[in-house]
Amino acid sequence: MKAIRVHEFGGPEVLRVEEVPTPEPGPGEVLVRMHAIGVNPVETYIRAGTYAYKPALPYAPGNDGAGVVEQVGPDVNQFKPGDRVYTAGSLSGTYAEFALCRAEQVHPLPANVSFAQGAAMGTPYATAYRGLFQRAKAKPGETLLVHGASGGVGTAAVQLARSRGLRVLGTAGSDEGLKLAREQGAHEVFDHRAPDQFEQIMNATSGRGVDVIVEMLANANLGKDLTILAKGGRVVIIGSRGRVEIDPRDTMQRDVDVRGMVMPNTPPADLASIHAALVAGLENGTLRPAIGKEFPLTEAARAHRAVMEPGAFGKIVLRTERKR
């Protein structure tokens, strides 16, 4: 099978297309024939060798994807060949024509959802759900700011929160991104390039502040985020690419919490609960991943450049050459 492999850490050019043996599923494992593969920023940090987690070289990147079950291991009863599925984690890497996964990393993909949309679930939707509901404990009726509502995690957070009855404010840094955030369900949108964005957001809450912020770029915003939270407000740090200065007093005045998260810390029971909710959301139509750019699997390097460019527009996916 064709797979993308990395032999040394570096720029996007280290993503090489190679012919490798197709894996065989052992006990508790499922082999998925990939149709679409989700590309996430974290995969660029790992490839560059700058992330806390460094895989042994060579490795095949990728956690997310969607396709059809090709083969199951001896004791796997919950899936059978031909089932449509999405993956949230993989033993062999999803940037490939086939991905070997543990059965619990595989989830059913309803017939009304495309493979490209399925490839958006594993990291972005699971992250948005965990940030909103398990870390921030966001409740219906609360006001949420999705700070960075135009990308993979942000569009997911907007849909999840809107369907749960929150008032959703979202930001983006391009006109297309602002339009997308509104279409995904944001009640009001703001341009995070605007110098007065925090005043605009505060005004939209009539000076009360927001209850929850899910933050995609904490190094740019955390200091100011703390000034626009309502009493008892929570900010969940999902993304950060540098350092930031805060005034701790801003957390004291209104009993504000700053909560970090990374998906690998999610306990298995919480993870199972997240995917049960996500599959239900796909089935009932409240979750509809927005797909932006698509690239062939063999052009993974282009996808890695694109995912780090400004002007996010939903999810970036790789496609294998197979038809739907």
Q: Which residues bind ligand NAP (CB under 6 A)?
A: 40-42, 123-124, 127, 147-154, 171-174, 177, 192, 216-217, 220-221, 238-239, 261-263, 307, 310-312
CB nearest ligand NAP: which residue? 151
Using the minimum distance from each CB to ligand NAP, give the nearer residue, 32 or 306: 306
Instruction: State the Cα–Cα distance between residues 292 and 286, nearest whole angstrom.
Output: 19
Using the minimum distance from each CB to ligand NAP, give the nearer residue, 76 or 278: 278
Contact by Cβ (8 Å): 55, 260: no
The closest of 229, 212, 236, 238 to 139, measured between CA atoms, is 212
CB of 83 to ligand NAP, least distance (A): 26
CB of 4 to ligand NAP, least distance (A): 18
Using the minimum distance from each CB to ligand NAP, give the nearer residue, 30 or 178: 178
Token pair of 269 as six digits: 């029971």
Using the minimum distance from each CB to ligand NAP, give the nearer residue, 2 or 224: 224
Cis bond before residue 195 (omega within 30° of 0): no
CB of 92 to ligand NAP, least distance (A): 21
Contact by Cβ (8 Å): 216, 154: yes
CB of 128 to ligand NAP, least distance (A): 8
Q: Using the 8-state DSSP alphabet, how is residue 207 labeled?
A: T
CB of 86 to ligand NAP, least distance (A): 16
Residues β-bridged to residue 215: 147, 237
Using the minimum distance from each CB to ligand NAP, give the nearer residue, 89 or 239: 239
CB of 23 to ligand NAP, least distance (A): 26
How many CB atoms sit inside 10 A of residue 54's CB? 11
Query: CA dist 33 to 71, 73, 208, Å?
Result: 9, 15, 50
Residue 96, helix vs strand vs coil: strand
Count of residues making up the chain:
324
Using the minimum distance from each CB to ligand NAP, give the nearer residue, 179 or 254: 179
